[in-house]
Structure 1
């Protein structure tokens, strides 16, 4: 039985099947139909539309729980923006990661100016409740202008080579965008990536090439244990 029965009330599928479907969809670059087929191989006959509804309903709650349980992130913020085409219109995906590679937040906007940077910074400060020590960006002048407007006493380093960590963090998004055959709307993209990045944070191991095999196994076991507790199936077999 799940540790939180009300979470899955009125769902005829068992909680571990629902949690597994949500985990597969957000953890790996899989389409809804791929997840449908993987579950079918395990004897779980469910449509891809049902999986989409599970992902929207449970994914938001799981991501919020992951964020609440997350430890204090680093004090060095890497900010970057990348263009994303949605229904033929240009949008900008703004993302911030800390010095360890954990995604702090994402924000889709139509503009690439100081107002867009201010909205991103305000959202970050609301979520983290702590002003960063260092802010690293590319040479877009809007970052410096927004920092000045907000009166932030933060060291600001502008250098394209220093911001590789933020630029590389866009790569999983590009992979998912191809699998999903582009995002359908900015709202859908914002909702999906807000969940996707938090799930990735839970299983993310900084600098895995410098970790021993035992350390990687320990980290993975802890991440799975946290996922089972967050998804409400901590007592499942």
Structure 2
């Protein structure tokens, strides 16, 4: 996949600004539409939604090349996200410094879902030495399964106090989506959450780029 703005009725700068507004702030699509109209740009909220849907996977591809290394001590947990009236599960991990390790939206909370998330996180960041989890048996079994299959020795640490960091980090995601009317599909929710997480990582300065504004760093990922 590659970035292309051909065929769009609006210039690249407008599209990136609209997408950034949606991913960075707790705004509905209609809020973003109104903000743009104040600037003299008339674009329908449904069009902005299509932009977010199209471009967030491209941002994630660039992120994989430009993300900074995280620590080898992780805190892993999951939180609830409602999609089309049903609860889904957003698996997330941060390192001991609070840097985002990875994230994955799943339809169920299970050993299989936890194992899928762990594989994604390790593929993107390397294998950790220790993973702190709460009392979740599914997460514990997922790590044990990975150790057995890969002959690795990730140490499992079950301590709720140590997991406060990732649980606190969940609150940002909850706050960001509170003003939304709700996700209408799993794929739409997944792509939007990817964008929100990446903008959060930019704010945490986890993306390599000369010091500049967060917005400029975001735009550089579409270069």
TM-score of the aligned structures, taking structure 1 as reference length: 0.81
Partner-residue secondary structure (3-state), 1:135: strand
Cα distance, 1:220 vs structure 2:
6.5
* 1:129-168 → structure 2 map (5 Å cutoff): 130-151=126-147, 152-168=152-168
The answer to whether residue 217 in structure 2 is matched with residue 221 in structure 1 is no
Q: CA, structure 1 residues 59+91, in 2 after alignment: closer, same or farther (shift >3 Å)?
A: closer
Q: Distance in 2 between matches of 1:88 and 1:19?
A: 30
Structure 1 partner of 2:191? 191
Partner-residue secondary structure (3-state), 2:178: helix
Q: CA, structure 1 residues 115+228, in 2 after alignment: closer, same or farther (shift >3 Å)?
A: closer
Tell me if structure 1 keeps the 8 A contact 2:81–2:90.
yes
Q: Distance in 2 between matches of 1:41 and 1:123?
A: 41
Q: Stretches of 4+ moved more than 6 A in 1?
A: none
* 1:94-173 → structure 2 map (5 Å cutoff): 94-128=91-125, 130-151=126-147, 152-173=152-173
Q: Distance in 1 between matches of 2:14 and 2:144?
A: 50
Q: How many residues align?
A: 215
Structure 1 unpaired stretches of 5+: 1-5, 207-218, 233-237
Of 78-87 and 31-40, deviating more is: 78-87
Q: CA, structure 1 residues 23+126, in 2 after alignment: closer, same or farther (shift >3 Å)?
A: same
- Between structure 1 and structure 2, the one with the greater Rg is 1
Which residue of 13, 17, 25 maps to 2:14? 17
The answer to whether residue 46 in structure 2 is matched with residue 44 in structure 1 is no
Cα distance, 1:222 vs structure 2:
5.4
Q: CA, structure 1 residues 222+137, in 2 after alignment: closer, same or farther (shift >3 Å)?
A: same
